[in-house]
Amino acid sequence: MIKEYRLKNKLSQEELAEEIGISSRHLQRLEHNENNTRISTFKKIVKSLNLPDDEILRFIKKSS
């Protein structure tokens, strides 16, 4: 989901990672569901990518 919306926003991994204050490697792992993240980082991703509420809920349910 993160990758899909990052591409829709025409951002590279490096650009988004810099914008939200994480390494591009950490973002890469998040996009491949290899890592969990802090809620504060997730909130920054949501804000930066303007994620719709239904996508946020889907992501949370899938992660549980």
What's the pLDDT tens digit per position in 2-60? 999 999 999 999 999 999 999 999 999 999 988 788 889 989 999 999 999 998 888 77
Full DSSP string of 2-48: HHHHHHHTT--HHHHHHHHTS-HHHHHHHHTT-----HHHHHHHHHH
pTM to 2 decimal places: 0.81
Domains of the chain, first to last: 2-63 (1.10.260.40)
